[in-house]
């Protein structure tokens, strides 16, 4: 650990995830000696406050990474494909929030509560991948059950907030709601193929040849990689819902050995990164509006799946921009500086 602190670059600093990266670095007291905020040429001139000081955004170029120790990327996959290897070659450790490297064998895909040991493999390429937000919150909740009784199959349906599609989608939901309340004849529909206000779209990212969306297949592949278990069956349905922050998930699992609802509750009550919210008498269960702005992954509605011998249902909710992106990345950076840099 460097006592003087680290030079940290945030690539995509002006975006929904980038803004949260800056806030998370500050909130967690990450030892930042130098902060480099990088985005497109469009954002040059914008400034952000970090720990009481103003920082100007610079244009991302090949020369942006000289002297940088840690580069947090969230400017989209095509930017990461080009610039993450450049950052790594100039000596930075890249923590990449995009899909660009997640499934590459020599790039660790890390959720600190689940597979922190995988971080050691960063040395191979100088890149660590952050999983997709929907995968992260699911594996945080399932890890203690996986360790206790094994998991054979996962059936997950997601209810994903618009902030997962970036700032323009947050604006679009707001504008559509206002237009509907003002009884305007035309709705602005630019980000999604359909109206998102008061609607549910079973369509996140592009559709693939097998009929699944890419978001659904990210959950399938990433879960197997994080648990280092190709034998788990995973099937997903990803749905965009008119919520600003907080992804919710209905998660059904079939375990190898029997586990009771009370045992799952006990595991959740002491699982790292999890908060058990499960009190039906008080109408307490995880809610997106309560998860928003929180670090914890909320787990509740724990029930036995009575249709099979070893089945459990859970409702899992987390702030997709925090634990789903920025917080997970900063937690990885914290382990990196504590154990490796
Ligand atoms: P956003 O709000 O639309 O922000 C996009 C960011 O990328 C902005 O800072 C933008 O800069 C920057 N950017 C775009 N084109 C650029 C270029 N040519 N050069 C440099 N910077 C460029 O999107 P977001 O929600 O923050 O998401 C950004 C990316 O993070 C996504 O594409 C995705 O890959 C990843 N992400 C991951 C998760 C996850 O599950 N882990 C969740 C959400 C997002 P300007 O403002 O200058 O255009
Ligand atoms: O839609 C969501 O709720 C999460 C979105 C994630 C996302 C958005 C655009 C591009 C990703 C991602 O993290 O997988 C990507 C991408 O990097 O491919």
Cα(95)–Cα(126) distance, integer angstroms: 9
Residues flanking ligand 1, CB < 6 Å: 12-18, 39-40, 42-43, 60, 74-77, 79, 97-98, 130, 132-133, 164, 166-168, 324-325
C-alpha distances out from residue 137 to 43, 67, 75, 81, 98, Å: 31, 33, 21, 25, 16
pLDDT at 2: 87
pLDDT value at 219 more than 90 = yes
Using one digit for the tens of pLDDT, what is the confidence trace for 268-321? 999 999 999 999 999 999 999 999 999 999 999 999 999 999 999 999 999 999
Measured from the Cα of 130, ligand 1's closest atom is: 41
How far apart (Å, rounded) are the C-alpha atoms in residues 177 and 196?
Answer: 9
* 220-278 pLDDT tens trace: 999 999 999 999 999 999 999 999 999 999 999 999 999 999 999 999 999 999 999 99
Residues within a 6 A CB radius of ligand 2: 76-77, 98-99, 132-133, 160, 164-165, 204, 218, 320
Task: Tell how far the Cα of 206 is from the centroid of ligand 2, in angstroms.
Answer: 11
- In Å, how far from its chain's centre is CA 311? 26
Q: How many Cβ atoms from other residues are within 10 Å of residue 276's Cβ?
A: 20
Please, are residues 12 and 100 in contact by the beta-carbon 8 Å criterion? no
Mean pLDDT, the chain, whole residue set? 98
SS3 85: helix
Each residue's pLDDT tens digit, 60-118: 999 999 999 999 999 999 999 999 999 999 999 999 999 999 999 999 999 999 999 99
Q: How far is the CA of 144 from the centre of ligand 1 (A)?
A: 32
Does the global pTM surpass 0.95?
Answer: yes
Greatest distance between any 2 Cα atoms in the chain: 60
Q: Which residues pair with 284 in a beta bridge?
A: 279
247 is a catalytic site residue: yes
CA of 50 to the centre of ligand 1 (A): 19
Q: How far is the CA of 204 from the centre of ligand 2 (A)?
A: 9
Nearest ligand, measured from the Cα of 38: 1
d(C-alpha 74, C-alpha 129), whole Å? 11
Known catalytic residue at 133: yes
- Give the C-alpha separation, 112 to 104, whole Å: 19
Ligand with the closest atom to the CA of 76: 1
Q: Which residue has the tokens 């709705």?
A: 187
- The DSSP code for 162 is G
Q: Which atom of ligand 2 is nearest to the CA of 80?
A: 17
The rounded Å distance from CA 308 to ligand 2 centre is 33
Contact by Cβ (8 Å): 323, 18 = no
Chain centroid to CA 227? 16
Atom of ligand 1 lying closest to residue 76 CA: 32
Q: Which phi and psi (to 5°) does residue 10 adopt?
A: -115, 110
Q: For residues 314 and 251, is the Cβ–Cβ distance under 8 A? A: yes
pLDDT score of 213: 98
Rounded CA separation 265/217 (Å)? 29
Atom nearest to 98 CA in ligand 2 = 17
Distance CA 248, CA 236 (A): 13
Ramachandran assignment for 262, one of left (phi > 0), alpha (psi -120 to 50 degrees), beta (any other)? alpha
Distance of CA 146 to CAs 69, 261, 337, Å? 35, 15, 28
What separation in Å is there between the alpha carbon of 160 and the centre of ligand 2? Answer: 11
Most informative mutation of 9, 10, 11, 12 for ligand 1 (most atoms within 8 A of CB) = 12
Question: Which ligand is nearest the CA of 16, by number?
Answer: 1
Which string of b and e fits 235-249 if b means at least 16 CB within 10 Å?
Answer: ebbbbbbbbebbbbb
């Amino acid at each position: 650990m460097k006592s003087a602190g680290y030079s940290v670059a945030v690539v995509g600093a002006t975006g929904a995830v980038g803004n949260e990266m800056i806030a998370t670095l500050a909130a967690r007291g990450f030892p930042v000696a130098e902060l480099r905020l990088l985005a497109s040429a469009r954002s040059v001139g914008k400034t952000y406050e970090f720990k009481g000081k103003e920082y100007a955004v610079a244009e991302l170029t090949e020369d942006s990474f000289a002297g940088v120790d840690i580069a947090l990327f969230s400017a989209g996959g095509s930017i990461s494909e080009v610039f993450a290897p450049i950052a790594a070659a100039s000596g930075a450790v890249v923590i990449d929030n995009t899909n660009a490297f997640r499934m590459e064998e020599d790039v660790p895909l890390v959720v600190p509560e689940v597979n922190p040991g995988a971080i050691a493999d960063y040395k191979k390429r100088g890149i660590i991948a952050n999983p997709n937000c929907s995968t992260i919150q699911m594996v945080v909740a399932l890890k203690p059950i996986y360790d206790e009784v094994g998991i054979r199959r996962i059936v997950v349906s997601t209810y994903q907030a618009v902030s997962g599609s970036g700032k323009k989608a947050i604006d679009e939901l707001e504008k559509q709601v206002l237009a509907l309340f003002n009884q305007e004849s035309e709705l602005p529909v630019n980000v999604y193929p359909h109206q998102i206000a008061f609607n549910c779209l079973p369509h996140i990212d592009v559709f693939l040849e097998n009929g699944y969306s890419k978001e659904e297949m990210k959950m399938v592949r990433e879960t197997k990689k994080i648990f280092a278990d190709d034998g788990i069956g995973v099937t997903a349905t990803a749905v965009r819902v008119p919520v600003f922050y907080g992804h919710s998930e209905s998660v059904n699992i079939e375990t190898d050995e029997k586990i009771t609802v009370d045992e799952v509750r006990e595991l959740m009550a002491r699982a790292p990164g999890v908060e058990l919210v499960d009190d039906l008498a008080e109408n307490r269960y995880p809610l997106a509006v309560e998860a928003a702005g929180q670090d914890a992954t909320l787990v509740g509605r724990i029930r036995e799946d009575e249709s099979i011998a070893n089945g459990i249902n859970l409702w899992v909710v987390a702030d997709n921009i925090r634990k789903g992106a920025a917080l997970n990345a900063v937690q990885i950076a914290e382990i990196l500086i504590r154990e490796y840099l």
